[in-house]
Amino acid sequence: MKQRELIKKLVDAGFVFDRHGGNHDVYIRNSVIENVPRHKEINEKLAKAILKRNGIV
């Protein structure tokens, strides 16, 4: 999955950009923090796990 697609889904679910980490961008919703790898293409299993963990799937 493209990084842009994953970020769009997170933002649509209420996450907002917080800061840049070392190799990740950090998004936050209330007290939930989600790290998104800074790669153009994100492994499909990882992307699905991030979405599932946050109830977006």
Supply the pTM of this predicted model.
0.92
Q: Is residue 25 part of a domain?
A: yes
CATH number of the domain residue 28 falls in: 3.30.920
Rounded to whole angstroms, how far apart are CA atoms 33 and 40? Answer: 21
Containing structural domain, residue 33: 3-52
pLDDT single digits (tens) 1-50: 999 999 999 999 999 999 999 999 999 999 999 999 999 999 999 999 99
Q: Is residue 57 part of a domain?
A: no
Q: How many domains does the chain have?
A: 1
Residue corresponding to tokens 């649509």: 12
